[in-house]
Amino acid sequence: MSTPSTEAPLSGRRAQAARNDTAILDAAREVFMAAPDAPVAAVAKAAGVGISALYRRYPGKEELLATLCLDGLRRFVDVARSALDVADPWDAFQAFLRGIVDADVHSLTVHLAGRFTPTPEHGALAEESGRLAGEILHRAQEAGAVRSDVVDADLPMIYEQLAAIRLGDAERVAELRRRYLELHLAGLRADAAPHEALPGSAPSQAELGARWRRDVTGTAG
């Protein structure tokens, strides 16, 4: 028998507003993943709402993009926290990478970086996501499961390489991303190439962060 909810149901108007907001964000993600320069009118059309309803919630495109990014960061944190509950360090590491790739949060980075000004909330969530990812990686390395020359900054590059795969429909894209993630995981294992160090160096935090800066035209710096 289900437990009755203690939360008061939303009024008709508030419930409709909540539905509109969900529809707008879902549509915005789809529209801007396909065409980052698309106007907000395209989002309203895809969401099936009037442009005035969209503007009541989001005053402009930048606020909409910023909200999409926050949603992606929150999903990242949720996946990481869930992976940390997995007892075996290698299983946790695999679960984490698979969860991040399936959630497709880094398509937002590939397509939207530099198109809005990050807020302190973005910064705090990004810091938390980096801390959690580092904890998962280091735990797997301490257990001897992941090669020791991999560093925290290598992981975003893996996510973004996989997010760049966009061939066919959504099901085919997901299938291909999982295929190539398994190749990455095989190469990340400590026993993959024990005598061969990775060439070059991982990107610096400055290099990673530069993509989120804006120049005077509003493009990535």
**Percent of the chain scoring above 70 in pLDDT:** 86
The answer to whether residues 99 and 35 belong to one domain is no
Q: Residue 34: which of 117, 99, 113, 110 has the closest Cα?
A: 110
How many domains are there within the chain? 2
Pair (190, 144) in one structural domain: yes
Amino acid at 90: W
**What values do phi and psi take at 189, rounded to 5?**
-65, 145
Confidence of residue 2 (pLDDT cuts 50, 70, 90): very low
In a domain, 36, yes or no: yes
- Examine the domain organization and report whether 116 and 203 are in the same domain: yes
pLDDT at res. 184: 95
Please check whether residues 185 and 107 belong to one and the same domain.
yes
Cα separation, 99 vs 162, in Å, equals 13
Whether residue 119 has pLDDT greater than 50: yes
Q: Say if residue 121 is in the same domain as residue 109.
A: yes
Tell me the CA end-to-end span of the chain in Å, nearest whole number: 55
Q: Is position 75 within any domain?
A: yes
The pLDDT tens digits for 173-218 are 999 999 999 999 999 999 876 667 888 888 888 887 776 665 444 4
Domain residue limits at 67: 63-210
pLDDT at 217: 46
- Check residue 205 and give its pLDDT: 80
Query: Which pTM value belongs to this model?
Result: 0.81
**pLDDT at residue 214, as a whole number:** 57
Q: Quick one: average pLDDT of 91-102? A: 96
